[in-house]
Amino acid sequence: MEQLLLKRINVPGGLDIDIAMAHGAYGALRISFGMRPVDVIDEVKRSGLRGRGGAGFPTGVKWGFAAMDPKMPKYLICNADEGEPGTFKDRIILERDPHLLIEGMIIAGYAIGAERGYIYLRGEYPAAADILERAITQAYEKGLLGNNIIGSGVTFDLSLHRGAGAYICGEETSLIESLEGKRGQPRIRPPFPANAGAWGKPTVVNNVETLANVPGIMALGSEAYSKLGVEGSTGTKIFCVSGAVNRPGAYELPLGTTLREIIYTHAGGIRGGGKLKAVIPGGASTPMLTAEHIDVKMDYSSLLSTGSMLGSGAVIVMDDSTCMVHATAVIIRFFEHESCGKCTPCREGTGWLHQIYSRMLRGEGGESDIDVLLGICRKMKGKCFCPLGEGAIQPVLSSIKYFREEYERCIRERGCGGEQCKGMMQGSKHHMTNKFQAPSTKSQTLRTLDF
């Protein structure tokens, strides 16, 4: 199996730039600097590389937009906010092969004409912060960052910028607001960052894993790269497997590998001999799947056709001991906590959803609560300012779709009083929710509350 992304993570001493270079780091720089920037962009376009941060936008196309914009200066930002629950792939690159990312950023900066780059790192990754600082310093010492990189005349400066605990800052316009020293709340689009991003200048925001693919593309050539994976989803992907499996971990595999192979061959199957019940294939904001979907190919379009998404590639596995009402409640609690508060449907909707889940788990659910949940989702759908709110309703809709009878049982039997549920029962801590109570169990009330 061809490894492009995790090939150096086990090299002893590989954090040191000399050792990393002895294993090929920065080898793709000369190749790239030998080409015109537009040709580098074309090469990335031909490779078929799509963003690994969740949205799957073609990387070369995004670069082309920023490169064509005449405004100067331009900025390159690496999105290392990695907040999607279940995702830890970027951390592995950051902590174990930071030079791969730095090399990818230098090439990307050259291609789009950016002489300044930032790595926006989530605040919860203190170890990665130290490692990156050291890697950046070493790269400067070797003349791989700064002016006239390896005698090419190319300039690229790079700094680390640490976030401080806000999932929404992974959304690229919020990230830019946060980088500028503001609250991390999303901006209206258009204008897109490629034209008016950081400080109003053309800005490319790419995920860590996306940028880490770039050296491999330049070294292999787009043709060889595009043979990896499947049509429309080229290359390899790091799948992060967590939950009820024997070997949770990060596995780099070609896009299009089946869910079955990921769970049973690589992650060692279901823990404790249990049965597979549900899978979240792409991080907490992607719709759940069930054991029936085990043969789905893990690529952008195959997952769309199941009604879910590749997202960040975080595969969260649940076995038959999992209560789906509780599992969904945990996700909703997360979204309520992380809602940035800018728009009403998401700020209030996630709080209401959380309150209703809490009362169901407390044994106070009413017969109409499933309809109330669905009604709130309907009122949020298409009305949220950014995709966080739209993503928040996915676990609710999908778990009700596939596991409705568990909701009915939870309500009928007045909760299960399980140990698990206790932490969830106190309900919402949202600062606004004292004022804005969720609709009562009588769905009558909800109808009067149309947005």
Ligand X SMILES: Cc1cc2nc3c(=O)[nH]c(=O)nc-3n(C[C@H](O)[C@H](O)[C@H](O)COP(=O)(O)O)c2cc1C
Residues forming the site for ligand SF4 (CB under 6 A): 168, 186, 339-343, 346-347, 384-386, 388-389
Burial of 450 per CB tally in 10 Å (0-12, 13-18, 19+) = exposed
Using alpha carbons, select from 227, 289, 231, 226 the residue that is nearest to residue 262: 289
DSSP element (H, E) containing 45: helix 37-47
d(CA 232, CA 33): 28
Q: How far apart are CA 375 and CA 370, in angstroms?
A: 8
Q: Residue 304 or residue 432: which is nearer to ligand SF4 going by CB?
A: 432
Cβ neighbours of residue 338 closer than 8 Å, sequence gap 6 or more = 83, 166, 167, 168, 388
Residue 396 as a binder of other proteins (CB under 8 A): the answer is no
Q: Return the residues of window 118-177 that contact ligand X according to CB under 6 A.
A: 168, 170-172
From residue 183 to residue 202, the character string flagging contacts with other proteins as x (rule: CB under 8 A) and all else as - is xx--------------x---
Under the criterion CB under 8 A, does residue 69 sit at the interface with other proteins? no
Q: CB under 5 to 8 A by kind: which of ligand SF4, other proteins, ligand X, none does 121 bind? A: none
Residue 276 interacting entry, from ligand SF4, other proteins, ligand X, none, C-beta within 5 to 8 Å by type: none
198 vs 446 by CB, closer to other proteins:
198
Which listed option, ligand SF4, ligand X, other proteins, none, makes contact with residue 54 (CB within 5 to 8 Å by class)?
A: ligand X
Binder of other proteins out of 60, 104, 163, 439 (CB under 8 A):
163
81 binds ligand X (CB under 6 A): yes
Q: How far is the CB of 182 from other proteins (least distance, A)?
A: 6
Number of neighbouring beta carbons within 10 Å of residue 139: 25
Name the β-bridge partners of 290.
278
Q: Please work out the total of residues on this chain that contact ligand X, with binding judged by CB under 6 A.
A: 22
Partner that binds at residue 346, options ligand SF4, other proteins, ligand X, none, CB closer than 5 to 8 Å by kind: ligand SF4
Nearest Cα neighbor of 440 from 336, 347, 367 is 367
Please, which residue, 220 or 327, has the CB nearer to other proteins?
Answer: 327
Cα 195 to chain centroid, rounded? 23
Name the strand (E) or helix (H) holding 80. strand 75-80
For residue 203, state whether it binds ligand X (rule: CB under 6 A).
no
Q: Which residues contact 25 (CB under 8 A, 6 or more apart)?
A: 8, 17, 97, 99, 100, 103
Six token digits for residue 4: 């492009």
Tell me the C-alpha distance between 269 and 258, whole Å: 14
Q: Which residues, 32 to 61, sit near ligand X by CB under 6 A?
A: 51-55, 57
Binding residues for other proteins, rule: CB under 8 A, are: 73, 82-88, 90-91, 122-127, 159, 161-167, 178-184, 199, 240-244, 248-250, 280, 284, 314, 316, 318, 322, 326-327, 330-331, 334, 337-338, 340, 419-420, 422-424
